């Protein structure tokens, strides 16, 4: 089918459960957890073709896999108005780089 959209909230929930986010201030974050979206809106996807790569430690259970699959919305035809591929470009400020705020 054709990728209509990829829902961000189910992806965020699964990644959070794998350790990519905090429930409370001070909770640890696992920097090895993340995801690579391999498709974009308007792209044609065939059965068995990968659309997402998830990096994690441990196990991604059946419920997490199901939630990730539910995040992918396919349709029989390309979307009518796919979103632009580039929404905004953020450039460095031009001032010399300094220490990161989180590094102590």
pLDDT tens for each residue of 29-86: 999 999 999 999 999 999 999 999 999 998 899 999 999 999 999 999 999 876 666 6
pLDDT-above-90 percentage for the chain: 68
How far is it, in rounded angstroms, from Cα 11 to Cα 9?
A: 5
Is 59 inside a domain boundary?
A: yes
Residue 44 is classified by DSSP as B
Can you give the CATH number for the domain in which 16 is found? 3.90.1170.30
Q: Is residue 85 part of a domain?
A: no
Domain range holding 57? 2-75
Tokens of 38: 């391999």
Q: Say how far apart CA 20 and CA 29 lie, in whole Å.
A: 5
Render pLDDT for 27-45 as a digit per residue (tens, 0 to 9): 999 999 999 999 999 999 9
- Average pLDDT score over the chain: 88
Task: Check residue 7 and give its pLDDT.
Answer: 95
Q: Does residue 99 fall inside a structural domain? A: no
- Residue 94 above 80 pLDDT? no
- Tell me how far apart the alpha carbons of residues 28 and 37 are, in angstroms, rounded to a whole number: 24
The pTM for the full model equals: 0.73
Query: How many domains is the chain partitioned into structurally?
Result: 1
The per-residue pLDDT for 104 is 45
CA–CA distances in Å: residue 82 to residues 6, 18, 24, 55, 86: 12, 31, 36, 28, 12
């Amino acid at each position: 089918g054709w990728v209509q959209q990829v829902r961000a909230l189910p992806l965020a929930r699964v990644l959070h459960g794998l350790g990519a986010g905090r429930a409370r201030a001070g909770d640890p974050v696992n920097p090895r957890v993340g995801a690579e979206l391999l498709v974009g809106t308007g792209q044609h996807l065939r059965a068995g073709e990968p659309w997402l790569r998830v990096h994690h430690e441990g196990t991604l259970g059946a419920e997490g896999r199901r939630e990730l699959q539910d995040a992918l919305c396919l349709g029989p035809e390309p979307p009518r108005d796919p979103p632009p591929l580039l929404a905004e470009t953020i450039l460095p400020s031009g001032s010399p780089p300094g220490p990161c705020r989180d590094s102590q």
